[in-house]
Amino acid sequence: MKIFLQVVNKFKISLISFGIFLIIGLIVWGFRNIMYLYLFVGIGFLDSATRILIQYFPKARQFVRLSLQFTIGFFLLVWLGLIIGVNFQFPEIFFDTYAGIITGALIQLIVARLILPFFLGNGFCSRACWTGFFFEMTNPIVRDKRKIIHRSNYIAWSYLIGLVCLSFFVAFIWDPATNIEMRKWWIIGENLFIASIGFILTFFIGSRAYCRMLCPFMTISGLISPYSLFKITPINFSKCTNCRLCNKNCPMLIKVETYVNNNKRINDPTCILCERCISACTEGVLKLTTKNELAIK
């Protein structure tokens, strides 16, 4: 029994992650069909497997995480999006609402932005989002104080409200929810727009500018993520050498060092749990933990 409990404790996050996706899959299956069970169990298995792998090969943390993000993101965008015709972007929720139907967009919102944030914060952004993967691969992490503009709730909510209004207007004119061909063109157009504006903005206001400043999904999940079960925690904050590598490697430009110096968990609503700060720290100060794992005094 003791060995069993040690194993459970060691792989606690992996087991909880898989359990969450399994439960979500079972629930959605009850409302839709068994394919959703396969989808969520598959995502949960991949996420859990990579977390276990990282424990044995911590130096490969970012390679493993990015490989997972590419795999899931590619599947969601190319297979389910471009081939099957499921649009996961925000406007589709309101296209569907106008047409009186439910598709993957609403399910993604509920699962990834309303349920998972209570457990994994904005983890979807660093493990499944294809636009997030694109930005992480193309946006340089430059902390030029003249360029850095942090997220503004006024701008973020204005953008979200603008998207809602635009979506209902488009739905009234063209109704892309019921036209598969038009929906695929919207998928291509929306993703090209997001990638383009995000790529351009990064040169003016810093890394992952679209995610930090505009992403409507981040606006919603960011309200919940501060209450998430898992957060990056300074478990050995007294070992911090103030090298600021954690700050320099954060794609969301969070002042990680400030949290460490105050011995507080990283509670920034834009944290995507990419764990780059953990990988960058040479002293093992940071770790992804649950709420009951307090920092060492």
Count of domains observed in the chain: 2
Number of H helices, E strands in the chain: 16, 2
56, 80, 103 - which closes a domain: 56
Predicted confidence band of residue 102 (pLDDT cuts 50, 70, 90): confident
Q: What is the mean pLDDT of residues 227-233?
A: 93
User: For residue 244, is it within any domain?
Assistant: yes
| Per-residue pLDDT tens over the stretch 119-177 | 999 999 999 999 999 998 888 776 666 567 778 899 999 999 999 999 999 988 888 88
User: For residue 279, is it within any domain?
Assistant: yes
User: For residue 52, is it within any domain?
Assistant: yes
Q: Reduced to 3 states, what is the DSSP secondary structure of residue 288?
A: strand
Q: Using the predicted structure, report yes or no on whether residue 282 has a pLDDT greater than 60.
A: yes
Nearest Cα neighbor of 150 from 211, 223, 220 is: 211
User: For residue 145, is it within any domain?
Assistant: no
Q: What is the pLDDT of residue 146?
A: 56
Contact in structure between 46 and 67 (CB atoms under 8 Å): no
* Structural domain of 29: 1-56
Q: What is the pLDDT of residue 145?
A: 60
Contact in structure between 246 and 95 (CB atoms under 8 Å): no
56, 74, 93 - which closes a domain: 56
Q: In sequence order, which ranges of 57-143 are alpha helices (DSSP H)?
A: 61-74, 90-99, 104-110, 117-120, 123-127, 130-138
The domain that holds 245 is classified in CATH as: 3.30.70
SS3 percent helix, strand, coil of the chain, rounded to 5, is 65, 5, 30
User: For residue 132, is it within any domain?
Assistant: no
d(CA 123, CA 112): 9
CA 297 to chain centre: 30
Instruction: Look at the chain and count its residues.
Output: 297
Q: Using the predicted structure, report yes or no on whether residue 23 has a pLDDT greater than 50.
A: yes
User: For residue 26, is it within any domain?
Assistant: yes
d(CA 156, CA 295): 33
Q: What is the pLDDT of residue 151?
A: 83
Q: What is the pLDDT of residue 134?
A: 93
Q: What is the pLDDT of residue 85?
A: 86
Q: What is the mean pLDDT of the chain?
A: 89
- Regarding predicted confidence, which is higher, 170 or 296? 170
Q: Using the predicted structure, report yes or no on whether residue 184 has a pLDDT greater than 90.
A: no
Contact in structure between 261 and 244 (CB atoms under 8 Å): no
**Beta pairing class for 231-234 and 286-289:** antiparallel
Residue located via tokens 């351009």:
200
User: For residue 25, is it within any domain?
Assistant: yes
d(CA 241, CA 295): 17
User: For residue 113, is it within any domain?
Assistant: no
Predicted confidence band of residue 292 (pLDDT cuts 50, 70, 90): low
Quick one: DSSP state of residue 294? P
39, 56, 73 - which closes a domain: 56
Q: What is the mean pLDDT of residues 252-280?
A: 93
Q: Using the predicted structure, report yes or no on whether residue 88 has a pLDDT greater than 70.
A: yes
d(CA 184, CA 179): 9
Q: Reduced to 3 states, what is the DSSP secondary structure of residue 160?
A: helix
